Amino acid sequence: MTFELSHFNAALLFALCASTVFGITQRSTPRDMFRYGAYCFALFVGGVIVAAWAMWMIKH
């Protein structure tokens, strides 16, 4: 059983699963859970994009 994912897709899957758990466990109401989960997901993905551009700029 092997699973092929690009680096970006692996980061997206990681962000989705981690932010789901963070949202459910760190907030009390369903609305807050959804908002916090979406916030964490945006931070994860935003962090990946910023880090990717930073590495690109260091290289060039």
Partner 1 sequence: MANPQKAAVLPGSTKAAPAQTTSMATIAPLAGWLLPGLGHFIQRRYLRGLLLMLSVFIMFFAGLGMQGKVYSFNTGDLLDILGFIGDLGSGLLYFAARIMDWGIGNIHRAVADYGTKYIVVAGLLNFIAAVDAHHIAIGKKP
Interaction site with partner 1 (CB under 8 A): 1-5, 7, 10, 13-14, 16-18, 20-22, 24-25, 28-29
Closest separation in Å from C-beta 52 to partner 1 = 15
Closest separation in Å from C-beta 16 to partner 1 = 8
DSSP assignment string, 2-60: -----HHHHHHHHHHHHHHHHHHHH-SSHHHHHHHHHHHHHHHHHHHHHHHHHHHHHH-
Closest separation in Å from C-beta 27 to partner 1 = 9
